[in-house]
Amino acid sequence: MTCYLPDCWEEVASRAKTASRVIIFLDYDGTLSPVASTPELALLPPKIGEVLRKLALRNNFEVGIISGRSLAEIKALIGLEGLAYAGNHGLEIECRKEGFVHPTATKAASLLKELYSQLVERLAGINGIILENKQFSLSVHYRLVAKSEVKKVKALFREVVEASKKQGKVRVTEGKKVIEVRPPVDWDKGKAIEWLLSHYRAENSLVIFAGDDVTDEDGFKFVNQINGISIRVGEASALTCADYYVHFPEELCLWLEKLVEPGSAP
């Protein structure tokens, strides 16, 4: 059962208090920034940025952002030094000046570019469609597309991508009103967290991960395995692996702030 975080707060707070180090990983869209109608509108609320800065400044805390956006984009959106950043669901990572790009992602980049231009061409007539080329993955956002057109979008998408998918050259995943094409690699947010932890030499740390979408479930699973704390942003759901939930990004940040400032009242 997923527990509403404020109702189980004592348990979480006491674990954070007794841990020698706390490592917090956070998704961006829908977790720190409310889901917006277009990706450009999903800016980081200043109050949440302030909480992230406070957390990262604490000696025994580390903060990492793990997003489906590109590494360059997520770094620019957060704009804080001293954090780890993982883009493209962890296929590209930057932590303490060290970088990582998954080799399969590098190899897939030219095919992804080709699929992107084909999709731009095929989906050109669809009102409200937004395509993103993130170098190591690509996204088709249909949040603003008329309901009656969504079927057509999915059919055109399949026409372009299906052959490469069948040949095992790419993977297709779905999120909230978005379809993504990714390199054919067994790599996800959970693996990215594992990579980052080995970099932090994080034995005996308490690891927290918060996310809101299907692709975050891999992160929840991994964090649960290492006895960490998994938090889903959104309504309570029987389908999630997360141990806790909050309703909104602002609520998540108020509680995270309490980890460094126990007196602050949400």
Residues at the interface with Mg ion (CB under 5 A): 27, 29-30, 212-213
2 CA to centre of own chain: 20
Nearer to Mg ion, 30 or 49 (CB): 30
Shortest reach from residue 24's CB to Mg ion, in Å: 16
Query: Annotated catalytic residue: which of 27, 29, 216, 243?
Result: 27
Which residues make beta-bridge pairs with 208? 24, 229
The nearest distance, CB 146 to Mg ion, in angstroms, is 24
C-alpha–C-alpha distance, residues 23 and 200, integer Å: 9
Give the residue among 43, 47, 99, 96 at the shortest CA–CA distance from 69.
43
Please state, in angstroms and rounded to a whole number, the distance separating the CA atoms of residues 261 and 160: 51
**Based on CB atoms, which residue is closest to Mg ion, 228 or 234?**
234
Give which of 134, 133, 150 is closest to 142, Cα–Cα: 150
CA distance 77 to 75: 6
CA–CA dist 133, 103 (Å, integer):
18
Round to whole Å and give the CA distance between 207 and 212.
Answer: 17
In whole angstroms, the minimum distance from the beta carbon of 208 to Mg ion comes to: 16
Residue nearest to Mg ion according to CB distances in the complex: 30
Does 27 qualify as catalytic in the annotation? yes
Measured from the CB atom, is 30 or 183 closer to Mg ion? 30
Shorter beta-carbon distance to Mg ion: residue 233 or 259: 233
Q: Closest distance between Mg ion and the C-beta of residue 138, in Å?
A: 17
Label the pairing between strands 61-66 and 84-87.
Answer: parallel
Which residues does the annotation mark as catalytic?
27
